[in-house]
Amino acid sequence: MPLVRFRYLQEQGIFNDRVALSRAIDHYGFPKPMALGDNTLAWDLEKEVEPWLKSRPRRTPKCSPSKSKRRSAIVGVA
């Protein structure tokens, strides 16, 4: 049962700040942390964090590869 703290979540790019973490807990079903001490909170990586990440929808590209001419014009490549 590997436990992770907020710094790990931040380093992995899951959350940028504690406000986003709090919002995810309150509104998006991110698991609440367990208290390891007076000022120490942690999450179970395998049982809580990873399943939550897998349940989140993934973004898909808005343009298809067939529109490469249009995309290259936006970037400025001839």
pLDDT per position in the chain (78 positions), as tens?
A: 799 999 999 999 999 999 999 999 999 999 999 999 999 999 999 999 999 999 988 877 776 555 555 554 555 555
Burial class (CB in 10 A: 0-12, 13-18, 19+), 42: middle
For 5-22, give the DSSP string: -HHHHHHTTS-SSHHHHH
- Integer Cα distance of 57 and 20 in angstroms: 17
Q: According to the model, what pLDDT value does residue 32 have?
A: 96
Rounded to two decimals, the pTM is 0.69
